[in-house]
Structure 1
Amino acid sequence: MDEFSGILPFVHVAETRSFTVAAHRLGISPSAVSKVISKLEGDLGTRLFTRSSRSVTLTQEGQAFSERCRRIISDMEDARQALVQAQAEPRGLLRVTVSPSFGMAEIMPLIPGFLKQHSAVKIELNMSAHVTDLVKEGFDVAIRIGEMPDARLVAKELGIRRLITAAAPGYLSQHGTPRRPDDLPTYNCLVLLNANTGMPIDWLFNKGRTEQRMRPHGNFLTTSSSALATAATAGVGIMQALEFNIREELADGRLVSVLEEFEVSGPKPFILFPENRRLTPKVRLFIDYISERLGGAV
């Protein structure tokens, strides 16, 4: 398959539209480049370039071939880089941003284990509910819940989390237990606000094969899931949250779940990183480490 030896010179000529510039890049003579291209065209049985004394342009077949060749070279470089990085010890600063509630409940318990395995890595953990521009602000990784509109990011799912509707036993003893979502307007429903928009986050329920969405109304509104749980355990009202936000309160009985037959999966957590940035060993290892432990696969 001698034609493979001509791919790199071909791509350089296609990019520069010049045999001379391509030859300079490759460290060989223009005549050698011309000879390689002519042989490649002969092997393929088609003309790749239209040549004149003043210009070199791709034919239609040459354009299609160049796009495929560039992908091949990019894949080869990625493979080479991955091999080099696999042999390198991960080190340096790793900047991670994560929403506070998910960060404390799910990510922070995993950080010590990662640092013990990779002692040359230093982690800066930014806990913020605000959407962050990874590229602009210099973060390596973001961990967020729900859809991410930034097309520049690759998103890897970190499993599924249940949405739990819950209240304190004392509140239910005083006000009764709701039997269906339609009962909730008669209860004090504690409101979680979106930290970026300030809008109330709707409650979700399973209604047969469809999803029922309900806007909660109550006398306490907050952007903090932790504050919402504190109010609920104090008997202020009913709350809905992803399971990890109230795991301890459910385990020790300070909160009890209601409407379990109407439960749905909540917004999915994702680990995100820039699409066009080659991952360094520390970033790749961190993504794999978190994904393996939280149910995602990279």
Structure 2
Amino acid sequence: MRLTDKCGSMQFTCAFMAKLVDLISLTAFVETARHDSFSAAARQLGQSPSAVSRAVDRLEHELGIRLFARTTRQLRLTEEGEVFLEQTREILDALAAAKHAAQGAGKAPSGSLRVSLPMVFGRCCVAPLLGAFQHQYPQLRLDIAFTDRRVDLVEENIDVAVRIGALTDSRLVARAAGHVHYRVCGSPDYFRMHGVPASLDDLRDHRCVHFRYPGTATPFRWQFHSEGKTVRWRPEGPIAVDDADALVGAGIGAAGLIYVPTYRVREHLASGALQSVLDDVMPSPQPVSILFTHSQLLAPRVRAFVDFFSTRIA
């Protein structure tokens, strides 16, 4: 839905909006919407809360619509505000892209880049590519954190993050970088001793090595797709581990069946140390995305990372 659909006679285009309101008000609006707070937006912009509030008031007056519903305890976007936010980001993104293009014209990407990577995926699929990346962009310095925690790029000043699975943060820009497939695997010795499961019901009769999230007792549930629906299953077995390498090692050692992403066991499947089963009921692959903020759109150092790794990871 576009702003013109919602506001009737207000036939705004992005170009006309840019002339109608000043960029200070647009920026104040976007940051306030991002943080749901005048105070937090003010800290981000280095201004006073009252200055940010006045800028948003001025914008609402110019547009003739209410962008935020205000109470003493809460600040939230109105429906018109949500529509306007989408188009406002287009304006600021276009300006940021033009600025970065002008600043970076003819220059090699340089400076520091803070990156967040999923722990195992980062070690297996990104770390082996770092040498080639550094050779291509010798003036870039990477500061990489390996964590399975979903970091807040805005709050924690992270430039780029790689994530696996569905995306929920509308504040971020995403570049697709392939998919992750999961497999149920076991060793030939295990299958000789316990047989090969032919269906999900057969899993109840098998030992399973289950993974739990580090520092918690929370198990990673196995997921399948059967008879048109998603089935989440809690594995049963005498062994639980909180380390991905240990999980794979236990599977190779015939301790039980394991549920792992294909990238983690590709070489073991190729060598025959592990064999996959139940392939016909495995879930749809999970998307891999490279994320960055709207404010970093087309920054040369960010663009270099995204362009390099999105194709090679995929």
Q: 2:122 corresponds to which residue?
A: 103
Q: 1:153 corresponds to which residue?
A: 172
Q: Does 1:11 align with 2:11?
A: no
Q: 2:202 corresponds to which residue?
A: 183
Query: Do the aligned residues in 2 keep the contact of 1:97 with 1:142 (CA within 8 Å)?
Result: yes
Query: Do the aligned residues in 2 keep the contact of 1:97 with 1:128 (CA within 8 Å)?
Result: yes
Q: 2:233 corresponds to which residue?
A: 214
**Paired residue for 2:98, among 75, 80, 88?**
80
Following superposition, the deviation at residue 149 of structure 1 comes to: 4.2
Question: Alpha-carbon deviations, 1:195-250, whole Å to 9, x = none?
Answer: 48642122122313322221111122223222110111111000011101111211
Q: 2:275 corresponds to which residue?
A: 256
Distance 1:278 1:174, change over 3 A: same
Q: Does 1:129 align with 2:148?
A: yes
Q: 2:310 corresponds to which residue?
A: 291
Distance 1:170 1:6 in 2: 70
Following superposition, the deviation at residue 111 of structure 1 comes to: 1.4
Distance 2:162 2:24 in 1: 40
Structure 2: give runs of 5+ residues left out of the alignment: 1-13, 27-60, 68-79
Distance 1:15 1:179, change over 3 A: closer
Distance 2:15 2:114 in 1: 41
Query: Do the aligned residues in 1 keep the contact of 2:118 with 2:147 (CA within 8 Å)?
Result: yes
| SS state at 1:282 partner | helix
Structure 1: give runs of 5+ residues left out of the alignment: 17-56
- The number of residue pairs the alignment matches comes to 249
Distance 1:13 1:214, change over 3 A: closer
Distance 1:208 1:149, change over 3 A: same
| TM-score, with structure 1 as normaliser | 0.72
Question: What CA RMSD, in Å, does the superposition of the two structures yield over aligned residues?
Answer: 3.2
Q: Does 1:241 align with 2:251?
A: no
Distance 1:88 1:118 in 2: 11
- Aligned identity (percent) is 30
Following superposition, the deviation at residue 135 of structure 1 comes to: 2.6
Distance 1:154 1:249, change over 3 A: same
Distance 2:196 2:252 in 1: 15
Distance 1:261 1:209, change over 3 A: same
Q: 2:51 corresponds to which residue?
A: none
